[in-house]
Structure 1
């Protein structure tokens, strides 16, 4: 554990809550503001001694279930929950039940301002936002139902342009799965990931053949040929601040022909009624 940070963090979380906020009577006899250790222990279903040891940063075994109860008791935000698991177990917090992910207004405005195609992915590679140039140059994601806007499914199953070029299809599948294995490993037990993998295993022969390989790569960055657009892009990936499970993917054209075609698409986009950034 990172002892000092954990001590200060848990004490701070206790101090900001009043007994009435968690359903306890306020006797007005408390010497310090906030909850007592006894209150947190009782609400989380652990002993006072055990919770005291945790808050003191002692070297004790702490299960994910107990950390979840403490997180709930102390009314932690999603970011604070992640921080608690990082301090105590040195790993990301377990996935929460599936919910619809959205992008912030700041990310929407940035997508509209970027002069190259760009999309936003979830950790499971669901496409949840894209700019107008992505529609002009790559594909209209809005034409697909929301549940089918998964980038792996689109490239390996939905888009037959890749399958018409077996060599490119094989190389693309290997590159995508090498990165997806890393993302999957960071979401143990997430039923949404398991559902996607089961679906692709049943519906996509190349996924079923390659998924068990040990090839891994930790970045989306690569220079790739886009089969549908016939263009060469350099992919770069960024994590938006405040949305650690999302990835902004930017498609930068990297030869003269591709630059020219993106510029043409940009001019077409500006000459007509510009569509706003699309979100899932």
Structure 2
């Protein structure tokens, strides 16, 4: 039995558990660690403070963040300690600017503080047959549908022949994080594996803020932490990111090097589900796609 087979199989219509006794505590704990990690990466001289003097921790001190953000040191200390305090959108915005957060990091901060940044809905709903038809019709381009947890909800035959034969993998193990960090079943590999994995974990971290306390998310994270020291190292960096459209090099065992560019098509307004189509960057890659798919 596979490790993930002990977990409930992820479904497109997976319901969110209403029993979340520890969700507020988890969110505040996650917020405390995230704030500290962002504070420690900023050097004092970058924001106008003198670099001299002995510092027990790297980066800015709490009182320096509070000063720059225009909030009380006690209040900010409580926030970073994960205490249950009231937070306004204006204060969160000030902290985000002080810590020099990018757009994804800023949204992550708003989510962790519980301050709304816009309507948020659940995971991708039941996939209509038209989605599978769309995937099939873009062949020979590999394509699949993922939810925010990187569970594979649908895929086409081209993906099986060019990237990975998902039809041979149990449904409960069809998760790109699990397949990337634990499984060795990929039939092709990205030449820049380290960067891609780093970005994938950062995307997973960003999405996880909306799902703190949900059993399926918690179980997957714990399984990955247990079975992959590489995932654990990246997870503990607390980086956040959005899905990337960066051109990637794939080294296929039969076709050799291929240059591909992923195109993400969002299926929900909240960005919880997306179809990804891997398009060829050049004619040579296009020809290899058609050869592998048999067109």
Cα shift readout 1:168-192 (whole Å, capped 9, x = no counterpart): 3322211211222211123232221
Report if the CA contact (8 A) 1:179-1:217 is conserved.
yes
1:172 counterpart residue number: 196
Q: Tell me the equivalent position of 2:264.
A: 237
Partner of 2:156: 131
- 1:242 and 1:91 map into 2 onto residues whose CA distance is 10
Structure 1, unmatched stretches of 5+, are 1-60, 62-87, 271-280
Counterpart in 2 of 1:210?
234
- Compared with structure 1, are the counterparts of its residues 150 and 172 closer, same or farther at alpha carbon in structure 2 (3 Å cutoff)? same
Q: Which has the higher contact order (CA 8 A, sep 6+)?
A: 2
Q: Report the counterpart of residue 176 of structure 2 in structure 1.
A: 151
Aligned mate of 2:211, from 187, 190, 197: 187
Cα separation, 1, equivalents of 2:265 and 2:189: 31
1:113 and 2:113 correspond: no
TM-score by length of 2: 0.52
Judging changes above 3 Å, is the alpha-carbon distance between structure 1 residues 161 and 137 closer, same or farther for their aligned structure 2 residues? closer
Alpha-carbon distance between aligned partners in 1 of 2:117 and 2:243, rounded to the nearest angstrom: 21
CA RMSD of aligned residues (A): 3.2
The answer on whether the counterparts of 1:224 and 1:232 sit within 8 Å (CA) in structure 2 is: yes
Q: Is the 8 A contact 2:263 2:276 kept in 1?
A: yes
Q: How does 1:250-261 map to 2 (within 5 A)?
A: 250-261=277-288
CA deviations on 1:190-228 (whole Å, 9 max, x unpaired) are 221111110000001110111111332222322222344
Q: TM (normalized to structure 1)? A: 0.55
Q: Is the 8 A contact 1:120 1:128 kept in 2?
A: yes
The SS at the match of 1:192 is helix
- Structure 2 stretches lacking a partner, 5+ long: 1-85, 87-114
Partners in 1 of 2:199 and 2:150 — Cα distance?
A: 14
Distance change >3 Å, CA 194–CA 91, structure 1 → 2 = farther
Figure out how many residues of one structure are paired with residues of the other and give that number. Answer: 178
Q: Retained in 2: the 8 A contact 1:200–1:208? A: yes
Q: Does 1:200 align with 2:218?
A: no
